[in-house]
Amino acid sequence: MNRPHLLIVAASLALAHTAIAAPALDASNPFAKPSSLPLNYPAFDKIKNEHFLPAYAAGMAEHLREIDAIARNKAAPTFDNTIVAMERAGEMLSRVSSVFSNLQTANTNDALDAVDREMSPKLAAHNDAIYLNPALFQRIKTLHAKRATLKLDAESKHLLERVYKEFVRAGANLSAADKDKLKKYNAEIASLQSEFSQRVLKEANASALIVDNRAELAGFSDAEIAAAAAEAEKRGQKGKFAIAIVNTSSQPALSSLTNRKTRERLMAASLNRGSRGGEFDSRDLVLKLAKLRAERAALLGYPNYAAYSQELETAKNPAAVNKLLAELAKPAVNNARKEALEIQKVIDAEKGGFQVASYDWPIYQDKVRAAKYNFDENQLRPYFELNRVLVDGVFFAATKEYGITFKERKDLPVYDPDVRTFDVFDHDGKQLAIFIFDPYARGNKQGGAWMNEYVSQSSLLGKRPVVGNHLNIPKPPKGEPTLLTYDEVRTAFHEFGHALHGMFSNVKYPHFSGTNVPRDFVEYPSQVNEMWAIWPEVLANYAKHHQTGAPMPKALLDKVVASKKFNQGYMTTEYLAASLLDQRWHQLKPSEIPTDVLAFEAKALKEAGVDYAPVPPRYRTTYFSHSMNGGYSAGYYAYLWSEKLDADTVQWFTESGGLSRKNGDHFRKTLLSRGGSADAMDLFRNFRGRDPVIEPLLERRGLTGN
Q: Which residues are catalytic, by number?
A: 495
Position 86, amino acid: M
Residues in the chain: 706
Question: What are the residues whose beta carbons fall under 8 Å from the beta carbon of 516, sequence distance 6 or more?
Answer: 3, 4, 5, 456, 675, 676
State the chain's maximal CA–CA distance in angstroms: 84
Query: What is the DSSP annotation of 496-553?
Result: HHHHHHHHT---SSGGG-TT-S-HHHHHHHHHHHGGGGG-HHHHHHH-B-TTT-PBPP
Classify 446 as helix, strand or coil: coil
Cβ neighbours around 374 below 10 Å, total: 11
Distance, CA of 202 to CA of 669 (rounded, Å): 43
- For the chain, the first-to-last Cα distance in angstroms comes to 32
| CA dist list (Å): 502 to 155, 408, 671 | 18, 19, 12
- Separation CA 533–CA 555 (nearest Å): 17
Phi-psi region of 336 (alpha: psi -120 to 50; beta: other; left: phi over 0): alpha
Contacts 24+ apart (CB under 8 A), 687-693: 687/649, 688/648, 688/649, 688/652, 692/644, 692/645, 692/648, 693/648
Task: Give the residue among 185, 317, 191 at the shortest CA–CA distance from 586.
Answer: 317
Q: Are the C-beta atoms of 246 and 286 separated by less than 8 Å?
A: no
d(CA 658, CA 663): 7
Assess contact for 244 and 441: CB atoms under 8 A.
yes
H or E stretch covering 366: helix 361-373
Alpha carbon distance 550, 613 (integer Å): 42
Select from 167, 156, 164 the least CA-distant residue to 512: 156
Which residue, 700, 704, 705, 683, is CA-closest to 692?
Answer: 683
- Helix (H) or strand (E) holding 423, with range, is strand 420-425
Asked if 290 and 585 count as a contact pair (C-beta separation under 8 A), the reply is yes
Please give the full DSSP string across 545-611, using - where no structure is assigned.
-TTT-PBPPHHHHHHHHHTTTTTHHHHHHHHHHHHHHHHHHHT--GGG--S-HHHHHHHHHHHHT--
Q: Using H for helix, E for strand and C for coil, what is the string for 57-68?
A: HHHHHHHHHHHH
Quickly list H helices, 410-453.
none
Tell me how crowded residue 82 is: count the other CB atoms within 10 A of its CB: 21
